[in-house]
């Protein structure tokens, strides 16, 4: 019956070789069809740049419809018409914009829904399958990477109930396209006389070693700054910090988008989620502070969504009312400067609710707070919970008052007997602490290294305008340094201007390595393809550089030896924590006239790989070149949706079209970070002048 209208497309169908319907037909069906009538034809639908359709093959099982409604949270597909005219389609003139849309490809039992980037790239039986781990967010989704002729052709989820279950975010699934782009850096390059030329590894590493030795000799180790991407592997981060400290330099950091480091001296262990990912479904109360949860961590949001269906009550405190596609019991949306005051009010209401005192360091600040009705409702809800968690998101950890926010969040968790956690920004945010890629003693943090320019910088895996808290300041500091060594997988356009040496290091697909995810799970993986051109695994480059510098402790033959050294001694579970001593005198920022900037890092701009994935950059989530304000703010400016606005900070000014977003608080403008269009504006937070252009 299922085959009545199904075309005989097996020889040209991407699903051929892994099709459930094909397996059943071959295993149990007749060799000759008895159906003599004319078969129907269904017009294909445009579902966007990620999912390709061939709807004549559809057998109307409605798995895709159920997924968008029940798992992704938004019914973007439906079954229209009746009987033999029934067909699956999106809403009129709409595409599928879910950050989990690629999963419908896996769920489709036939070839009606296939991967558009993979279309006709290979036959499934030609592909070898290799395990890996996603490098894009703190969840650490498990991957099956499919390879043909030493090129990554497709990425699928590897089922792991403790991490990503059987799902995969589109960011993890389709970012592989960037691995094969023309922007790959495939040979060491040195700038001589303002011109770049390719050299061999020996010359490049000798140049770097001599340059760093000279800077260390003339300026001391403090004259160098080491800036590492939190998406780098544990092995790379461990060797980078070892290299820095071997040169007498404590200036190493991987928290590139963080701005408040005032609590570093009292932080105990690596900030982590505070609980296993698999236990999210057991919570009955959750408070999320400063997070664009659905876009920052798509699969963690999916777990929260399913838990909410089972009775979890979710509350949110943030600077935008983004739809998480789940029921949020109570939400407070305020200016960034009011986040601390809002948390103080919730703390006061909760202390009264549970009849417990707050920490002495917070007493005066909390007593001065005035809880609104929503704050009281959040407090009452948390007090009634048995399994409670309080999480800090990316916006909270990147906030100028991050220490005050964490102090109050910890206090809220303690008052209601809950768990406190930090969701984490990147694949190895926890691993960076474990590896020691954070400053110790008198070492400078990332912000200080850039505010007080060093004579030399070693930048590993990060790009100046996009991966830092203040792109304008970063480009200035790197541009004025005597020597800048850039290690990365791509020819970064900014690096071509500020760097003196560019060393091609392999992305996650071409190196073995380890990530430590937000729950502290250590996940190692192997390279799935050979390195392109002369690119080499980052840990090997750093090992050889350590040898050339004459440093001891760089005698490694395998990445596993580096990993074992990094993890030796105290077990990872005992290195987790991230709690800080209460910050005395916590108080909200003084409100000033003007607009405050709200800056999120868009879903498809988080790291160099994602930013270069063509199909992801054609999605709706990647179209972020606008300034979002609410209706009241637009009216006050005398502007309408689509009008040009001039936005100005002390760093620079840009002109962008206005866009309406009524979930934003008054007096705020939402401008995404990690964008060339907004890099001139500098810091991701603070006051900003807005006027009609």
Residue 138, token pair as written in the block? 């703190």
Q: Class of 189-259+435-570 per CATH?
A: alpha beta
In order along the chain (693 residues), what is the average pLDDT of each group of 10 residues? 79 91 86 82 94 94 96 94 90 90 96 95 94 97 97 97 97 97 96 95 97 94 97 98 96 97 94 97 97 97 97 97 95 96 96 94 91 96 96 97 96 97 97 96 96 97 94 94 97 94 98 97 97 97 97 95 95 94 78 87 96 96 93 95 95 95 95 90 94 91
Closest CA to 615 of 70, 96, 91, 112: 96
pLDDT given for residue 593 in this prediction: 75
Residue 395 has what pLDDT?
A: 97
Nearest to 619 by CA among 603, 606, 608: 603
Cα–Cα distance measured from residue 123 to residue 680, given in angstroms and rounded to the nearest whole number: 46
- The pTM is what? 0.95
- Tell me which architecture the domain covering 126-180 has in CATH: Single Sheet (2.20)
**What's the pLDDT score for residue 319?**
96
- The CATH topology of domain 273-422 is Dimethylsulfoxide Reductase; domain 2 (3.40.228)
Question: Which residues are bridge partners to 51 per DSSP?
Answer: 115
Q: Three-class SS of residue 123?
A: coil
> How far is the C-alpha of 299 from the C-alpha of 143, rounded, in Å?
14
Of 585, 516, 583, 440, whose CA–CA distance to 271 is shortest?
Answer: 516
Residue that is written with structure tokens 């990872």 in the block: 572
- DSSP single-letter state for residue 69: I
CATH number of 595-692: 2.40.40.20
Residue in the block written with tokens 């810091």:
683
**Do residues 294 and 323 touch, judged by C-beta distance below 8 A?**
yes
Domain definitions of the chain by residue range: 1-116, 126-180, 189-259+435-570, 273-422, 595-692
Distance CA 405, CA 271 (A): 14
> Coil, helix or strand for 211?
helix
Architecture category of domain 1-116 in CATH: 2-Layer Sandwich (3.30)
């Amino acid at each position: 019956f299922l085959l009545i209208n199904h075309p005989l497309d097996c020889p040209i169908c991407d699903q051929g070789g892994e099709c459930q319907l094909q397996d059943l037909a071959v295993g149990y069906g007749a060799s000759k069809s008895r159906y003599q009538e004319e078969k129907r034809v269904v017009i294909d639908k445009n579902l966007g740049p990620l999912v390709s359709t061939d709807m004549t093959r559809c057998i109307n099982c409605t798995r895709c419809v159920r997924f968008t409604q029940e798992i992704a949270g938004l019914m973007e597909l439906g079954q229209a018409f009746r009987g033999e005219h029934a067909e699956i389609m999106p809403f009129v003139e709409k595409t599928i914009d879910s950050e989990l849309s690629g999963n419908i490809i896996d769920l489709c039992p036939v070839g009606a829904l296939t991967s558009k980037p993979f279309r006709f790239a290979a036959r499934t039986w030609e592909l070898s399958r290799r395990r890996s781990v996603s490098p894009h967010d703190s969840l650490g989704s498990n991957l099956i990477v499919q390879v043909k002729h030493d090129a990554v052709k497709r990425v699928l989820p590897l089922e792991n109930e403790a991490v990503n279950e059987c799902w995969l975010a589109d960011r993890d699934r389709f970012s592989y396209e960037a691995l094969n782009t023309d922007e790959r850096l495939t040979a060491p390059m040195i700038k001589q006389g303002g011109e770049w030329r390719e050299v061999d590894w020996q010359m490049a590493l000798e140049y770097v070693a001599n340059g760093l030795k000279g800077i260390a000799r003339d300026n001391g180790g403090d004259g160098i700054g080491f800036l590492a991407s939190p998406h780098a592997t544990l092995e790379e981060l461990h060797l980078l910090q070892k290299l820095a400290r071997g040169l007498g330099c404590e200036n190493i950091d991987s928290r590139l988008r963080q701005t408040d480091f005032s609590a570093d001296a009292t932080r105990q262990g690596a900030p982590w989620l505070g609980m296993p990912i698999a236990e999210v479904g057991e919570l009955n109360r959750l408070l999320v502070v400063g997070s664009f949860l659905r876009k920052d961590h798509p699969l963690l949001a999916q777990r929260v969504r399913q838990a909410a269906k089972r009775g979890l009550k979710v509350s949110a405190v943030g600077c935008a009312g983004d739809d998480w596609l789940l029921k949020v019991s109570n939400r407070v949306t305020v200016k960034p400067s009011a986040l601390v005051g809002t948390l103080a009010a919730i703390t006061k209401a909760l202390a009264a609710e549970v009849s417990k005192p707050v920490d002495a360091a917070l007493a005066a600040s909390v007593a001065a707070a005035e809880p609104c009705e929503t704050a009281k409702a959040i407090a009452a809800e948390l007090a009634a919970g048995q399994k409670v968690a309080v999480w800090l998101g990316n916006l909270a950890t990147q906030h100028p008052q991050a220490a005050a926010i964490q102090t109050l969040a910890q206090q809220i968790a303690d008052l209601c007997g809950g768990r406190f956690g930090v969701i984490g920004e990147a694949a190895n945010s926890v691993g960076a602490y474990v590896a020691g890629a954070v400053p110790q003693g008198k070492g400078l943090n990332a912000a200080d290294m850039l505010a007080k320019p060093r004579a030399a910088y070693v930048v590993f895996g990060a790009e100046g305008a996009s991966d830092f808290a203040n792109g304008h300041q970063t480009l200035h500091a790197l541009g004025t340094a005597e020597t800048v060594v850039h290690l990365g997988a791509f020819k970064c356009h900014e690096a071509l201007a500020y760097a003196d040496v560019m060393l091609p290091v392999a992305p996650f697909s071409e190196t073995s390595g380890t990530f430590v995810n937000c729950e502290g799970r250590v996940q190692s993986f192997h390279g799935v393809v050979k390195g392109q051109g002369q690119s080499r695994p980052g840990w090997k480059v750093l090992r050889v550089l350590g040898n050339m510098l004459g440093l001891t402790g760089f005698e490694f033959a395998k990445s596993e030896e580096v990993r074992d050294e990094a993890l030796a001694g105290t077990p990872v579970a005992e290195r987790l924590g991230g709690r800080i001593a209460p910050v005395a005198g916590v108080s909200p920022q003084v409100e000033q006239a003007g607009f405050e900037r709200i800056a999120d890092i868009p879903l498809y701009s988080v790291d160099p790989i994602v930013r270069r994935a063509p199909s992801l950059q054609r999605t709706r989530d990647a179209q972020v070149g606008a300034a979002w304000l609410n209706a009241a703010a637009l009216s006050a400016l005398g502007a309408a949706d689509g009008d040009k606005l001039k936005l100005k900070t002390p760093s620079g000014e840009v002109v962008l079209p206005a866009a309406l977003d009524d979930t934003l608080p008054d007096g705020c403008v939402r401008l995404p970070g990690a964008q060339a269009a907004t890099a001139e504006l500098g810091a991701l937070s603070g006051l900003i002048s807005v006027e009609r252009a």
